[in-house]
Structure 1
């Protein structure tokens, strides 16, 4: 664990930890207009961050200036923009018990909803059916078993169906065609449960999006069993990439980025020193607008690494405590954010990777960033 990761976790503790009363997290929707912006926000990306007094969803403008929306006591993690072109949902990270719907133009919180009884959110969710339904990844407190809930947006995100995620400790989930790909992380690295553990028990499950039936479960080979499978990104033409974290810090250079293919996980290629440089931890993964390049960020390793979509390694660069990653609207570009408030624009081609521009913001960004829909 590096000094910058310790700073991030210490900050989270100082800012209030994780509450268990989500209904008052942001003061309720009735007070939303009290905190409206004096002008409409132009959202190019969405993120979450630690801000003065707590945590908040964040709207990032095309010039990469950032505006926080509300403030609460639970650490927000992933932000999912709705296809309606106006709203988005920020989901609290495990063991979070709140998700927040907000207006990304007005900068106001509209509503909140909770996980199912006896469960916590894992930090991720996705809109489906043109924004009429929302899928959330949840974890049973007692057993660690995963649940995917399907919620009706117009019914205040009420649960209409739920299915087993076919694994323990699910973290991220991605709709692909008529299926859902769920990254069941197993034991989460750098938690009390991970002390002394050598097998994460992770898997990738393919679930039918209509019935919830499990179509397939893919596990890593025995020599990679210490990896926790955590984050997903994809392209419209079917590429799905997966990022991992390692329970073990034994000096073995295990691959931490994979392509999800039918019946198997294909490791991306990189020199051993590059895998070691990620310090056993990839906190975010993204694919550029062209679908040609894949980026992975490690706040522990203070770097962003980039590959071609076929898994060929291109290069890496330093970004201290950098974790959030999202494509821009241009081919060969990524937005990256850091726990120290930096927002960087990264450019890549087949020959290398570099920083195009940097901007500092007065907040500490969490693990993810998202490009909004037009």
Structure 2
């Protein structure tokens, strides 16, 4: 496991140099972490065709990343329960800063910038209480300026809503502790929640699953431009059951859970890795790496619209004509109509997520 010392090695001191925009690194569309053949972990910038525009070294395996909305700068998060995240100047390939979770906190591998880029929000665990926390960081030097409750236990993914003010948090319900690593400590009583917060921590809305699905951890999120939320789940219950792994929610309404016929659903091993809406927003998809499958659904009626089989498929992002996906075998592909086509194959193992770069107009 990478130590604090190795994360801090090479940290650029004092002020940060002025940053160039994303066009300076070829205007990538996505960020993705990967393991390369030489044993190095790297953060790569990709375009929709699967070309790698840049790759920058990480000191440990990455999970997800957050892209600054104006500058060619990204935050690469270690896997939970990591306590460090690296801020990378993507234009120069240098480490601009390192943020460390305060004592008694650890990160969950996700975060999001405010629209103006002045703040970074991070999903965290209060180790003593087991409750979720959202950390708030000033991006001018990446200093900690506050925190507030996430509205549940085990906040994992978090997104900014289209109103540019509201945060939506996937409180997965699973309690962990650094002393026990990734061990799940509270499965019998876990209670996943989808929580909407203002950027000062005020709870705007809480959504819970039916009681029989209280072991269905809400993990990853996608947001359609009109505010419709898609959420991907990971089942922590009896493996003989095959519950829905995809949900849709609009504020003020009840969640809608979507599932494939049992013949297809039963092959997924209760695990959805990533989620995205298509470019037009008419379909939503989840990747299921344990089942080597990508499932696409129609939003209008919630019906399964296609099953696409690819080994270890997990990364998923929106594309103008559908979806872009990545796999642990190095594949970068596109799913448009009824066919998933391989666009490229990189000599690496892509990790869990494909993060879209959202830049200001």
Residue 253 of structure 1: CA displacement?
2.2
Q: Distance in 2 between matches of 1:336 and 1:372?
A: 15
Q: Deviations over 1:135-174 (max 9, x none)?
A: 11111233331110121111x2212221011211110112
Backbone CA RMSD of aligned residues: 2.5
Report the counterpart of residue 179 of structure 1 in structure 2: 166
Relative to structure 1, the CA distance from residue 192 to residue 181 in structure 2 (aligned partners, 3 Å threshold; closer, same or farther) is closer
Q: 1:281 to 1:199 in 2, by over 3 A?
A: farther
Aligned with 2:286 (options 291, 296, 299): 296
Give the structure 1 partner of residue 85 of structure 2.
99
Residue number in structure 1 paired with 2:249: 260
Q: In the TM superposition, what are the counterparts of 1:193-342 in structure 2 within 5 Å? A: 193-194=183-184, 197-209=187-199, 211-261=200-250, 262-310=252-300, 311-328=302-319, 330-331=320-321, 333-342=322-331
Match of 2:151, SS? strand
Helix, strand or coil at the partner of 2:70: coil
Cα deviation code 1:18-61 (max 9, x no counterpart): 53446426x3237x99xxxxx94442221111233442211114
Question: How far 1:245 sits from its partner (Å)?
Answer: 0.2
**How far did 1:266 drift?**
1.3
Q: Give the one of 70, 76, 83 matched to 2:69.
A: 83
- Matched-pair contact (CA < 8 Å) for 1:249–1:280: no
Asked if 1:361 is matched to 2:346, the reply is: yes
- Identify the range of structure 1 (193-202 vs 279-288) with the bigger mean alpha-carbon deviation: 193-202
Alpha-carbon distance, 1:325 to partner: 0.5
Give the alignment's TM-score, normalised by structure 2.
Answer: 0.86
Question: CA, structure 1 residues 87+196, in 2 after alignment: closer, same or farther (shift >3 Å)?
Answer: closer
* Of 66, 70, 74, the match for 2:57: 70
Number of corresponding residues: 341
Tell me, in whole angstroms, the C-alpha distance in 2 between the residues paired with 1:298 and 1:138.
25
In the alignment, what sits opposite 2:29?
44
Shift of 1:314: 0.2
TM-superposition CA deviations, 1:241-281 (whole Å, max 9, x none): 11100012432221110012325321124212222222100
Q: What secondary structure does 1:223 align onto? A: helix
**In structure 2, the residue corresponding to 1:70 is in which secondary structure?**
strand
Deviations 1:223-251 (Å, cap 9, x if unpaired)? Answer: 11110111011012111111100012432
User: Does the residue aligned with 1:324 lie in a helix, a strand or coil?
Assistant: strand
Alpha-carbon distance between aligned partners in 2 of 1:42 and 1:129, rounded to the nearest angstrom: 18
Structure 1 residue 358: Cα displacement: 3.6
Asked if 1:28 corresponds to 2:11, the answer is yes
| Separation in 2, partners of 1:339, 1:233 | 21
Matches of 2:26 and 2:96, distance apart in 1: 16
CA distance in 1, matches of 2:229, 2:351: 23
Q: Which residue of 2 aligns with 1:142?
A: 128
Q: Which residue of 1 aligns with 2:21?
A: none
Consecutive unaligned residues of structure 1, counting only runs of 5 or more, are 1-16, 34-38
1:218/1:18 Cα in 2 relative to 1: closer, same or farther (>3 Å)?
A: farther
Please report how far the alpha carbon of residue 72 of structure 1 lies from its aligned counterpart in structure 2 after TM superposition: 0.6
Query: Is 1:269–1:313's contact at 8 Å kept on the other side of the alignment?
Result: yes
Contact 1:22 1:112 (8 Å CA) reproduced = no
Which residue among 92, 100, 107 is the counterpart of 1:114?
A: 100
Is the contact made by 2:245 and 2:259 (CA closer than 8 Å) also made in structure 1? no
C-alpha offsets along residues 121-143 of structure 1, whole Å, 9 cap, x if unaligned? 10111111321111111112333
Shift of residue 186 of structure 1?
1.5
- Change in 2 beyond 3 A, CA 1:116/1:207: same
Question: What's the TM-score, normalizing by structure 1?
Answer: 0.83
Please state if 1:167 is matched with 2:156: no
